[in-house]
Structure 1
Amino acid sequence: MENKRTLTTEQLEDAKRLKALYESKKKTLGVTQYMIAEELGISQGAVGHYLNGRNPLNLNVAAVFANILQVSISDFSPSIAAEAERLSKVSNVSYAGELKPRKKYPVISWVSAGAWCEAIEPYTLKEIDEWLESDAHIEGEGFWLKVQGDSMTSSVGPSIPEGMNILVDTGKEAKNGSLVIAKLTDANEATFKKLVIDGGSRYLKPLNPQYPLIQVNGNCKIVGVVVQAMMWL
């Protein structure tokens, strides 16, 4: 039987730093060893071997860990980060720095979205089962919603059909023409509409002309502005 290669002190330190990052970020990011295993195409046990210093990290594995944990490779393995830079210098592709990870945002319910306007915690991390990535610039807090109904479906111009995921930025200023998530005082859930400002009056306008225009007269609070929409096929 072939003897298992002993890791160097440097490799063990890399694993130690990586495991510390994983433990500190897994709850906040909703990351599990199973998710990492799926991304790498290996078993969950093999992921544990990397974290516990039983198998040495390599550039490909380090890049996946860095992306999922939203850190730089140099945060846990300066030597592998240096290797990536050296490799780029001997190729015909210039090194542009380490890949910046896409940030993950929670997918929440429409009731939770409406609670952003109230003096309560809209959700807890324990309630979040799904997180989606985005490289959009978010000015405040961000979260995803899954579109319900056909009020924002249109045969002409922009159309955001049922089932599409939309990313909401709670810190972005809502302007005339913005697609917004709003909370009406007489509703438990948030609603998704286009903000129209005309002559000092404000309206929530569905993209679907079959739905009525809603005039805003102090009966509505804007939760956030939709900055991205996508659909999984």
Structure 2
Amino acid sequence: MNGGGAPSSRYISSLAKILKVNENWLLNGGELNTGDSLDLSLPPIKTVPLLSLQQAASWSDYMKNSSITSCVQLVGEIPANTFAVVLESDSMSTSGGGVSIPNGSTVFVDPDRTVQPGNIVLALPKGTTTPVIRKLEIEGPDILLVPTNPRYPSIMLDDLSCILGVCFKIQQNI
């Protein structure tokens, strides 16, 4: 901008490309010819099964079941086997920096994504019946599920076989 209401002349061409309009329309206004490469397409909306944490322990059985009654919608390109769970603790909630997932958040899980250290994962540690959501950390030979809330303990794993999926998005109500 040049301090006035019009864009600086050196940026007109770039600005027109970004806005997907022609330079004349940008400078003079008027009716926008919809044939001027205006892309108003919306991202896809996908319906994703909402599973309880207990159901998520055997997610593949529930995904095959056509009588899933609880679903949530998510905008954008979503991996094929995505499902959602609701976090039922404040184990991933923090007041500091970094990722914080508040209690009650809907968490989207991709069971087919390759697990990497640093990922937030849904896991069913040995000897438990309810999956947990934690950050995966690998420190030398140690494999840990680490909460972001320091009031909760880390969980030591023998291997990655208990990982049910990688969490990639959350939705929450305010």
What TM-score, normalized by structure 1, do the two folds share?
0.55
Q: Distance in 1 between matches of 2:89 and 2:161?
A: 20
Q: 1:156 aligns with which of 61, 85, 96?
A: 96
Query: Is the 1:193–1:205 contact (alpha carbons within 8 Å) kept by the matching residues of 2?
Result: yes
3-state DSSP class of the match of 1:121? helix
Query: 1:137 and 1:150, CA in 2 relative to 1: closer, same or farther beyond 3 A?
Result: same
Q: Does 1:144 align with 2:87?
A: no
Q: Identity percentage over the alignment?
A: 26
Q: Distance in 1 between matches of 2:125 and 2:70?
A: 27
Q: Deviations over 1:192-211 (max 9, x none)?
A: 11100111321000110111
Q: Distance in 2 between matches of 1:165 and 1:204?
A: 19
Q: Distance in 1 between matches of 2:45 and 2:73?
A: 9
Q: Deviations over 1:133-182 (max 9, x none)?
A: 231442x5101111111111111122111111111011111111100000
Q: Deviations over 1:179-232 (max 9, x none)?
A: 000012212221111100111321000110111111101485111001101212
Mapping 1:54-93, distance limit 5 Å: 90-91=33-34
Structure holding more helix per residue:
1
More displaced, 99-108 or 172-181?
99-108
Structure holding more strand per residue:
2
Q: Distance in 1 between matches of 2:57 and 2:62?
A: 8
Structure 1: any 5+ residue segments left out of the alignment?
1-88
Query: 1:172 and 1:219, CA in 2 relative to 1: closer, same or farther beyond 3 A?
Result: closer
Higher relative contact order (CA 8 A, sep 6+): 2
3-state DSSP class of the match of 1:223? strand
Q: Distance in 1 between matches of 2:74 and 2:84?
A: 10
Q: Distance in 2 between matches of 1:134 and 1:100?
A: 6
Q: Distance in 2 between matches of 1:185 and 1:97?
A: 49
Q: What is the count of residue pairs matched by the alignment?
A: 142
1:200 matched residue in structure 2: 141
Query: 1:106 and 1:91, CA in 2 relative to 1: closer, same or farther beyond 3 A?
Result: same
2:5 matched residue in structure 1: none
Query: Is the 2:121–2:163 contact (alpha carbons within 8 Å) kept by the matching residues of 1?
Result: yes
Q: Which amino acid letter does the alignment assign opposite residue 104 of structure 1?
A: T
Query: Is the 1:108–1:128 contact (alpha carbons within 8 Å) kept by the matching residues of 2?
Result: no
2:23 matched residue in structure 1: none
Query: Is the 1:107–1:132 contact (alpha carbons within 8 Å) kept by the matching residues of 2?
Result: no
1:190 matched residue in structure 2: 131
What TM-score, normalized by structure 2, do the two folds share?
0.72
3-state DSSP class of the match of 2:54? helix
